[in-house]
Structure 1
Amino acid sequence: MKLGSFHIAGRDTFGVVTEGGIVDLGERLGGRCRSLRELLALDDGLELARRTAAQARQPDAALEVVQYLPVVPDARKVFCIGVNYADHLEETRIRKSPYPTVFMRYAESQVAHGQPLLHPRESAQFDFEGEVALVIGRGGRRIRSEDAWSHVAGYACYNDGSVRDWQFHTTQWGPGKNFAATGGFGPWMVTADELDVQSKPLQLTTRLNGAVVQQSDTNLMIFPIPELIAYCSTLLPLAPGDVIVTGTPGGVGMARNPPLFLQVGDRVEVEVSGIGVLCNEVRMD
C-alpha cells in the first residue's frame, strides 16, 4: 500500500495512492486522525487505511491535480545517518566509526516530490545524496535489533541535499543539512508488508539530468536497518511517523574530480525499487 500526504482543494490531507488516484483518508476518516503521522499512531491505522481504500468506489482526486507534500510533513524526529556505505566512506576519506554517524534534520527543511530544491545563495556547493528513508510505525525505547523490523511502517525515497561548505564549517554537520527546502522526501511511502527488505534489498539509483550518478542497494550498508533503529531508539523513544534516513552511497558531487555540484535548472531523481521516483528541480533561493 502506498501512503502519502497531499494538498487537495485548498487543504492539507493524506491518503492511499491507487492506480486511479488518491483515496483521501483525511476526508473519509472524519476527525479520527488529521495526518499520516496520526494514522500511524493508531493501533489499527494501516488496516483502517486498507479497509477505507478497499471500500472506496473511486479515488477522490487524480494524482495530476494534487500537490505532493513531504511523506510525513510533521515528523517530530528525522534522524539522518552519515557515511553508511563503504564506497561513500572511502570517497569522503572520513575515518570509519564503530558507531553510526547520526545528525538531525528539521522537518521544515524538507520539500515534496515535484517541488523545487532551493539552492542557497550563500553557497556554491549544493550537493545531492540519494537515500532510502524508513518511517516508524510502532514506537519504542531501546528497541532490540532483532525486534526492529516490526517497528517499520514503510519506506520512501529521500534526497539529503547537502550544502557542503556550511556542512564542514565545523565538525557539526547540522547547518549544511538544514537549509530551507534542501531535502526531498517522497513521493509516498510503501508499507513494509509489500517490501521484504530482509531478503530482497532495495535498489537505490540517483540520476542527475538523466545520467546515473549513484547506484547501490541496502545490503551494502555498513550499519543495517535493525542496528540503526536500535541505536536511534536508545537516544530518544521512537514514535510513529518518525523518520530514519539511512545514508547515501558513493558518487556524491563533492567527491568527484572536478566536483559536480547542483546548478539552477538541474533535475535530480532518486529511485528506489518497489517504491517509485522522487523528482525535484533546483531553483535559486
Structure 2
Amino acid sequence: MRRCGALKEQDCVSEKAETKPNALWENIKVIIQALLLAMVIRTVFFQPFTIPSGSMMPTLLVGDYIFVNKFAYGYSKYSLPFSPNLFSGRIFGSEPNRGDIVVFRFPPNPDIDYIKRVVGLPGDHIQVTDGVLHVNGKPVPKVADGAFTSDYKLDPGEDVPVFRETLDNGKTYDTLDQSPVSRGDNTQDFVVPEGHYFMMGDNRDNSLDSRFDVGFVPAENLVGRASVIFFSLGNDTSFREIWKWPANMRWDRLFKVVE
C-alpha cells in the first residue's frame, strides 16, 4: 500500500479531502445537464400527455399516453413552461392539415389542454347535418365500419357503431356514433375565421369541441400534433398502480402511430 512521505503527508491528505467534493460536484453537474436536456426536449421537440376522457375514441382511449410533436406547427407562448408572455402569435409556424389530431389550449381557459381533430381550416364553412359532417358545403363520406367495445367507465362493454370518414385530402379515420340523435348532430353553418381552426372529437356524441363551448381555436393556442402512443393502460388503471400494469397493459397500442 502506498504511504505518504513525512514531507508530503499534508499534501496527500489535502488531495484526499478534495476528491470527495470534486466527485460530488461532477454528479451534480451530470444531474443538472440531464434535467436541462429533458427540459429542452419537452419544450422544443416532444411533450408527453395522457388521455383523460373518451372524446377521441376510438382513435385515442382513456389511459393512452402519447408524445406530442411540438415543432410541427412552430412555437407560441403556450409551447413554453408556464406560458410566459414573451411574444404573440407563432414563430417558425406552419399550418395544420385537415385531419390532424392536435393538442391545444382551451380558449376560454388557456391553463387547460384539449385534444381534438382539425376538421376546419381558416375560411372553411363547417356544418353537421343529421350527424354528417359537411366541409364547404360537401358531405364528408361516412361508411359503417363495424362496432367498438370500450372498457371506459362511462360505457363499459357497450358496442358502439363505428363509421369511417374520408376527408377531401384523403385522410381517413374512424368515428363513433353513440346516439342516433344528439345535440351535436345538427349545427349552424360555422365560418372559420382567419388564424383559427375548427376542432371535433372522433367520439362525435361525447365531445366538447368547436360545435360547443370550445369555439374556434386560435393558431396561437396550438401546442402540437399527436404523434405516437408510447404507453397505454386499460380499465381506468392509474399510472401509479404499477402492480396492475401486467393485467391492464394494452400491449397492442404501444408505439402505435396516431392517425
TM-score, with structure 2 as normaliser: 0.28
Q: Which is bigger in relative contact order (C-alpha 8 A, separation at least 6)? A: 1
User: Greater CA radius of gyration, 1 or 2?
Assistant: 2
